[in-house]
Amino acid sequence: MPDGIYHIPLRLPWSTPSNVNVYLIEDDDGYVMIDCGVNGSEYLDLLNGHLNEIGIRFNDIKLLIGTHMHLDHIGLSGSLRELDIPLALYENSIEYLNEYNDWSVRFKDLIRMAKSESAPADFIDDLKSITTPMYAGKLTRPDVLLTEGKITSLKRKINVLFTPGHDYSEISLHDEHSRIIFSGDHILPRITPFIPVQNEDSNLLKGFLDSLDKVHAVDHDIIAPGHGNIISTPHKRIEQMKLHHQRRSDKILEFLKKNDLTGWELTNQLFPRKLDSLNLRLAFQETLAHLHLLRSNNDISRNSTNGIKKWSLKD
């Protein structure tokens, strides 16, 4: 990392991914921290230990920026705010506070959609049984609401890019001096981030692909992601991620060429391996994300066949 920028891979309570990347950027009168890990005193102590090793105290941090509203990135923010470190999130975050704090709110629409996509009862029961993990902590209205462009409270030129897709309120941060983009989970080195669908109107995959183009157009040398190693060939990585989604969309169109299918049937064709309940939910949401994208591109539509709504190709 260049002078004045520190990278802390902070342990998570699970194995994939096993760490979240916390970054610190030096400004004139203190440090900006990007993301902070999960809630819990154990994780606060861990973070404190890492900071001590590089000679930074919590007092030296003047702003915590959350790249997006996922618990592995901002779960600990409540404890840090108690230490007088203000939290900044993108301005639309205030619309999603409820669903961050209460996962029964977050998955309400998904349960309805699962029923209408012919998902079986046990899958729906699994969705109904999801509760908010303790690692999320409690999120209240952020102290600072960020908009696109330079963060005015900082001397250093750090620009906010709104890059929704993996989350409704995801941002990337472009540090002009070091030519680094801190991408949160929008761009990751090894895996393509999960793109959720949470309601009938959401088209986060379109947002995600547009956000990739937005980052692609910004002059930068490397990407510092929310998990895993630094990406030294960012433009190539962006192309790979776009190709991944293009292939998946093409596959869906191929399946629909043979038969009209429900979202649940398509999920099972796209992901034929046996999945545990978490991965099955992710697969279902990702399939719907693709269906919504294809519908917005006018490639497919959803029609009733014998009382069941199925997706079909448009001619």
Shortest distance, position 122 Cβ to Zn ion, whole Å: 28
Is residue 132 within 8 Å of residue 101, measured between CB atoms?
Answer: yes
Nearer CB in complex with Zn ion: 196/226: 226
Question: By rule CB under 5 A, what string of x and - marks binding of each residue 226-255 to Zn ion?
Answer: x-----------------------------
Q: Which of 117, 149, 138 has its CA nearest to residue 218?
A: 149
Question: By rule CB under 5 A, what string of x and - marks binding of each residue 201-230 to Zn ion?
Answer: -------------------------x----
Residues 156-185 that bind Zn ion (CB under 5 A): 185
Nearer CB in complex with Zn ion: 73/292: 73
Task: Give the integer Cα–Cα distance in Å for 301 and 311.
Answer: 6
Shortest distance, position 132 Cβ to Zn ion, whole Å: 17
Question: By rule CB under 5 A, what string of x and - marks binding of each residue 67-106 to Zn ion?
Answer: -----x----------------------------------
Shortest distance, position 72 Cβ to Zn ion, whole Å: 4
Shortest distance, position 282 Cβ to Zn ion, whole Å: 13
Residues with Cβ within 8 Å of residue 2, at least 6 apart in sequence: 178, 180
Residues with Cβ within 8 Å of residue 86, at least 6 apart in sequence: 62, 63, 64, 143, 144
Phi, psi of 280 (to 5 degrees): -65, -40
Enumerate the β-bridge partners of residue 175.
Answer: 158, 180
Question: Is-cis flag, bond preceding 234, omega within 30?
Answer: no
Nearer CB in complex with Zn ion: 72/99: 72
Number of continuous H segments (helices) and E segments (strands) in the chain: 11, 13
Nearer CB in complex with Zn ion: 126/185: 185
Shortest distance, position 203 Cβ to Zn ion, whole Å: 21
Residues with Cβ within 8 Å of residue 190, at least 6 apart in sequence: 228
Nearer CB in complex with Zn ion: 16/152: 16
Point out which residues bind Zn ion (CB under 5 A): 72, 185, 226
